Structure 1
Amino acid sequence: MASACTNGLDTGFVALGTTKVAILGVVQGITELLPISSTAHMRVVPTFLGWPDPGSAFSAAMQLAALFAVVTYFWRDVWRLGSGSIRAVQESDYRSFEFRMAVGIVVATIPIVIGGLLLKKQLNACGSPLRELWVIGAASVGMAVLLAIAELVCRHKRTFEEIRLRDAVVIGLAQVGALIPGVSRSGSTLTAALFMNLKREDAARYSFLLGLPAITGAGVKELMELRHAGLDAQGWEVLGVGLASASLSAFVAIWTLMKVMERFSAWPFVIYRLLMGAFLLLIVWLGVLDPMI
């Protein structure tokens, strides 16, 4: 079903109402922080339920729920990096771990900011070709293959404290891929971190922390655009319900991913992404669903 527009902005979530958006908020919260692509699920789940596409604006705004969950779960790391960086500036100790880590996170955010600005019209436009099902399916399969290679060939021995600026740059460049629905921000950064030979749990931890500026920026920017587009009171109410349900489920998603990466590996996510991507490509090829639906 086609999505809706408000002054050119994709706002299909408003027509869904609070109950359906609460359900999609749970899906969004879980998939936003697991390496399986929230945008993909925001296209696929409504399609199979016969609901309208909630739109890219919904997915972007829901990142504020992910922000809440990440800051809450990793509050010690966030406090350490923030306070340590301020102290380093005050003492002119620019070689401190906290300051170098904070600088790395800022530098790693620059590529996705540039990419987001360049693709702004394509990303938020109603009926964006980037949200076609075949694009999502292909991206999902591609990332599954890359994540599998990272599991097979990398050593996973480096710790969080061994992260350097070059690692941040590489992982930041990989984060740009998240602009393509089906790739996943956490999936692209986690995969890149594993390729840098980080331990699985430290790769996941760094992926979350590195994403904080991008998540914050995308969420705040989308709220401002929705306000500028003239979203009505009902729309804000529906969005608020989605944010509430997404915040709770996002926290569960972080806990789940950290436990899986600590005790096992990324293979469950590889298999899931591969199956989902192959299924989407198959139904598009068979003509079961219109790829533009």
Structure 2
Amino acid sequence: MDTLQVIILAIVQGLTEFLPISSSAHLILVPVFTAWEDQGLAFDLAVHLGSLMAVVAYFRREIVAMAGAWSASLLHSRKSQDSRLAWAILWGTVPVGLAGLAFKGVVETELRSPIVIAISLICFGLLLGWADYRRRGSRSEYDLQWKDILVVGCAQALALIPGTSRSGITITAALFMGLSREGASRFSFLLSIPVTTLAVGLQVLELVTTPGAATDWSAMLWGVVLSGISAYLCIHYFLSFIRRIGMQPFVVYRIGLGLLLLILFL
């Protein structure tokens, strides 16, 4: 990988991981529109690790509070807002974990085409626009009920389809369940922590069991750093942006990109 490829892919991953525009779609499309070869599993691991470190760093206070409250709820049956949110994140991860195990092969071989990405971008983009315009409420991530967790968790499983966007579909589902824009986004970002941790763990396992796999450690290091910085800044400014403007600019972007892909590849 040359320096320009490392920089662009790392920043693309960092920015699109938490924007509702699908990071997997953009990482698939970058090689489609360039002469670059696939970046490989090791670099994918690096950029996802950078994104994970960014969201953990940004929500470090909430994570510490949830960890203590979750332990107290487990050991002493003490319930609190933080423990309920911690349990919501854990239970909300179960559907995508099961779906990933069941459909991993299909997703990796059958659903990575530009046409699938285009349809997903447009359809789920329209759904996000509708949820943001007509269905959003005022509840925060601390007000989640079991029905909310089930709906958002099942919606997250749809993010296995390239172009859907994990953050986009979970924010959409949370808005439909009556959360505010900021509450839906914060829950979506927190929900990414166990999912990304599982994904990174699986990538590590696959990497160490691949015989003769070459590793460009310099590219990996820059991938972690650049992805982490861009993801951290993205989370910070996205939460401020949606509070004032909303999701509609991302809806327009998704539809425009989807239509462009249909024109180019149909």
Shared fold by TM > 0.5? yes
Question: Which residue is equivalent to 1:170?
Answer: 151
Q: CA deviation at 1:180?
A: 0.8
| Amino acid across the alignment from 1:207 | S
Structure 1 ranges of 4+ moved more than 4 A = 55-61
Contact 2:54 2:231 in 1 (8 A): yes
Q: Which residue of 2 aligns with 1:137?
A: 118
User: Is 1:270 aligned with 2:255?
Assistant: no
Letter in 2 for 1:248: I
What is the RMSD computed on CA atoms of the aligned residues? 1.9
Answer whether contact 1:64 1:220 (CA < 8 A) is retained: no
Consecutive unaligned residues of structure 1, counting only runs of 5 or more, are 1-15, 286-293
Q: CA deviation at 1:87?
A: 2.3
Tell me, yes or no, if the aligned pair for 1:47 and 1:53 is still in contact at 8 Å: no
- Ranges in structure 2 where 5+ consecutive residues have no aligned partner: none
Q: Match of 2:25, SS?
A: helix
Aligned to 2:127: 146
Change (3 A) 1:130 1:235: farther
Cα gap change, 1:155/1:34 in structure 2, threshold over 3 Å: closer, same or farther? closer
Using the TM superposition, give the Cα deviation of residue 102 of structure 1 relative to its aligned residue in structure 2, in angstroms.
1.6
Q: How does 1:16-55 map to 2 (within 5 A)?
A: 16-54=1-39
Displacement of 1:222 after TM fit?
A: 0.7
Aligned 1:91-110 pairs, distance under 5 A: 91-93=76-78, 95-110=79-94
Residues 261-283 of structure 1, C-alpha deviation per residue, up to 9 Å, x if partnerless?
22110111111111011111111
Within 5 Å, which residues of 2 pair with 1:59-98?
A: 59=44, 62-93=47-78, 95-98=79-82
Matched with 2:167 is 186
The correspondence for 1:281, drawn from 249, 252, 262, is: 262
Q: CA–CA distance in 2 between the matches of 1:141 and 1:164?
A: 29
What residue in structure 2 maps to residue 114 of structure 1?
98
Residues 1:27 and 1:50: Cα distance change in structure 2 (over 3 Å): same
1:247 Cα deviation from its structure 2 partner: 0.9
- How many Å apart are 1:63 and its aligned residue? 2.2
Match of 1:201 in 2: 182
CA distance in 2, matches of 1:157, 1:194: 9
Give, in whole Å, the separation in 1 of the partners of 2:194 and 2:212: 25
Listed one character per residue, the Cα deviations across residues 225-247 of structure 1 (whole Å, up to 9, x for unaligned) are: 11211364534443333222111
Structure 1 distance, partners of 2:45, 2:171, is 20
Contact between 1:140 and 1:277, CA under 8 Å: does it hold in 2?
yes
Task: Give the superposition deviation at 1:44.
Answer: 1.6
CA contact 2:85–2:141 (8 Å) conserved in 1? no
Residue identity (%): 38
AA at the equivalent of 1:96: S
Does structure 2 conserve the Cα–Cα contact (< 8 Å) formed by 1:157 and 1:198?
Answer: yes
Q: CA 1:211/1:137 → structure 2, altered by over 3 Å: closer, same or farther?
A: same
Paired residues of 1:42 and 1:54 also in contact (CA < 8 A):
no
| Deviations, residues 162-218 of structure 1 (Å, cap 9, x unaligned) | 112221111010001111111111111111111111110111001111121111100
1:175–1:188 Cα contact (<8 Å) kept: yes
Residues 176 and 57 from structure 1, CA distance in 2 versus in 1: closer, same or farther, beyond 3 angstroms? farther
Read off the aligned partner of 1:226 and give its amino acid letter: L
The alpha-carbon deviation at position 61 of structure 1 amounts to: 5.3
**SS of the residue 1:62 aligns to:** helix
Distance (whole Å) between structure 1 residues aligned to residue 250 and residue 31 of structure 2 = 21
- Inter-partner Cα distance in structure 2 for 1:122 and 1:56: 18
Which residue identity is paired with 1:148? G
Contact 1:38 1:59 (8 Å CA) reproduced: no
State the alpha-carbon separation in 2 of the partners of residues 195 and 262 from structure 1.
17
How many pairs are equivalent?
Answer: 266
CA shift digits 1:11-40 (9 cap, x unpaired): xxxxx3454123211111111111111111
TM-score of the aligned structures, taking structure 2 as reference length: 0.93
